[in-house]
């Protein structure tokens, strides 16, 4: 879609199978409908009563906002409660609020009000109640986030490390609901396995006892063959709890006699997520790293067997640093003949001045020169490295470049078992159990990078772009030619240029 009065075009890319439907609450939950419903108690707080317990709002969304600066609120939650109390009144107009968003967040708050209760006693299972489950897996916080930007949570302080009580709380780090990574991953993975819980750890977490494991699950609303995400639920626990559980299960065969387990030297065992990153390993320092970084040969084998599908991705709007040649600043400091240090040689004094005055001025000039030289040497000995690195920062510039990276996606329908490598999916999750013979000598295989790397061309980036036949929409108005375009054409003689598409 062309942007009027500009040479630019707007393109919007939507994820496959997502973004075409949205959840609409029943019309009876509309605030005006609730106001006219005589069965609803209209006493003070008939809207704010749903916002109890621990809850927060998306900090970047404007639910209500005064048109002037006469009011100040500590946080979005205080601001929303202020406006809800005004909405509860009789003379209310929607001038200062987003009516659709307010109706959604009030409806979500009403539906999820149960989350402010004690969920450890309301979620019993056949094997154990919620309290035992929370203690067993070391859960520190349970959360729920909705599509209206509302996030609720419950803390379980009995499982929190006492040394980390001063660290930022979950709601301060993860209060953006649908914009959180765990929300998006859960929604995206729902189309792969609607019953699965998505396990994730921070990138490159390593062997850190404070690392949190995040587990999330998407809740969809279905109607008439269509469905849309309504909320995501989940919890966080210490990664060490999952590691202990993993070790307990993979090193114990129960009543079955076995000689090889993940605790023996013959086997190396991993839990990998759907993108090939290490969730749990025999070596905790590998947590959060891409598995292909440690065994590229086995990762290549999993790719060849169809366990993982690899997609090469491109970033055509990258920026890469350019370091320009420079002179070492230390050279001008230590060279006595440098212009920054004056020499004691002076032009002959005029003959019309007394000899004593001439001698005095010559001595004064010499003292000034020696003082400047001494200060320069002191500067050189103390700040030479500071000056050098500062000069590098000043010379470091960024230029357009192309980048690439590779994305691994798990194929859930594939299993693998042979004498050397075994792969099995962990039911109800996005992870697989990988076990392989540790005695197999690693093959010399180049690892495929999952990080952004610059694509090297045999010519300047500008010349490559100029030579390739990119299609461009014809300008809809008159624009002056940019000077840089003329320079590029001069640098890249013989370039094919852009093709105009009418």
Question: Rounded to the nearest 5°, which phi and psi values hold at 150?
Answer: -85, 135
CA distance 233 to 279: 20
Q: What are 49-83's pLDDT values in tens digits? A: 999 999 999 999 999 999 887 889 999 999 999 99
Give pLDDT tens digits for 226-269: 899 999 999 999 999 999 999 998 888 877 878 888 988 889 99
Q: Token pair 């370091």 is at which residue?
A: 323
Q: Which residues of the chain, if any, have pLDDT below 70?
A: 1, 7, 27-29, 32, 35-44, 120-129, 323-396, 415, 419, 460-462, 464-502
d(CA 281, CA 268): 8
- State how far the Cα of 176 lies from the Cα of 155, in Å rounded to an integer: 18
pLDDT at position 345 is 44
The C-alpha atoms of residue 428 and residue 170 are separated, in whole angstroms, by: 25
Cα separation, 114 vs 45, whole angstroms: 18
* Helix (H/G/I), strand (E/B), else coil: 340: coil
- As beta bridge partners, residue 311 has 407
Identify the burial level of 369 via C-beta atoms within 10 angstroms of its C-beta, where 0-12 means exposed, 13-18 middle and 19 or more buried: middle
Q: What is the pLDDT of residue 349?
A: 47
For the whole model, what pTM was predicted? 0.77
């Amino acid at each position: 879609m062309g942007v009027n009065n500009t040479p630019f075009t707007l393109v919007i890319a939507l994820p496959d199978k997502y973004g075409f439907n949205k959840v609409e609450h029943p019309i009876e939950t509309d605030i005006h409908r609730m106001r006219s419903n005589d069965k609803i108690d209209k006493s003070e707080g008939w809207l704010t009563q749903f916002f109890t317990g621990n809850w927060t709002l998306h900090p970047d969304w404007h639910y209500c906002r005064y048109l002037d600066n006469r009011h100040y609120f500590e946080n979005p939650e205080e601001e929303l409660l202020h406006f809800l109390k005004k909405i509860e009144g009789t003379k209310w107009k929607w001038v200062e609020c987003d009516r659709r968003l307010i109706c959604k967040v009030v409806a979500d708050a009403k539906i999820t009000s149960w989350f402010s209760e004690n969920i450890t006693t309301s979620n019993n299972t056949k094997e154990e109640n919620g309290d035992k489950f929370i203690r067993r897996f070391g859960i520190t916080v349970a959360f729920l986030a909705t599509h209206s930007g509302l996030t609720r949570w419950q803390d379980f302080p009995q499982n929190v490390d006492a040394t980390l009580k001063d660290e930022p709380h979950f709601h301060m780090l993860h209060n953006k609901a649908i914009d959180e990574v765990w929300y998006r991953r859960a929604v995206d993975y729902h189309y792969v396995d609607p019953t699965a819980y998505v396990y994730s750890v921070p990138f490159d977490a390593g062997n850190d006892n404070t690392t949190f494991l995040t587990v999330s699950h998407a809740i969809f609303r279905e109607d008439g063959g269509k469905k849309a995400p309504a909320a995501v639920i989940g919890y966080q626990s210490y990664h060490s709890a999952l590691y202990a559980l993993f070790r307990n299960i993979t090193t114990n065969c129960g009543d079955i006699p076995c000689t090889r387990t993940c605790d023996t030297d013959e086997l190396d065992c991993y839990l990998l997520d759907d993108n090939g990153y290490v969730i749990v390993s025999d070596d905790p320092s590998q947590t959060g790293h891409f598995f292909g970084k440690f065994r590229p040969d086995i990762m290549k084998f999993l790719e060849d067997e169809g366990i993982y599908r690899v997609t090469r991705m491109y970033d055509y709007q990258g920026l890469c640093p350019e370091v320009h040649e420079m002179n070492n600043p230390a050279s001008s400091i230590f060279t006595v003949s440098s212009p920054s240090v004056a020499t004691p040689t002076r032009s002959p004094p005029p003959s019309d001045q007394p000899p004593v005055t001439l001698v005095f001025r010559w001595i004064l000039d010499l003292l000034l020169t020696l003082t400047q030289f001494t200060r320069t040497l002191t500067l050189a000995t103390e700040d030479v490295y500071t000056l050098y690195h500062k000069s590098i920062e000043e010379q470091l510039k960024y230029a357009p470049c192309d980048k690439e990276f590779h994305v691994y996606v798990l194929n859930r329908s594939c299993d693998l078992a042979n004498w050397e490598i075994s792969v099995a999916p962990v039911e109800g999750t996005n992870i697989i159990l990988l076990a392989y013979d540790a005695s197999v000598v690693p093959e010399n295989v180049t690892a495929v990078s999952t990080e952004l790397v610059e694509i090297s061309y045999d010519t300047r980036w500008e010349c490559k772009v100029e030579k390739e036949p990119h299609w461009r929409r014809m300008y809809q108005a008159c624009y002056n030619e940019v000077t840089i375009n003329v320079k590029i054409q001069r640098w890249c003689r013989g370039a094919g240029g852009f093709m105009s598409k009418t």
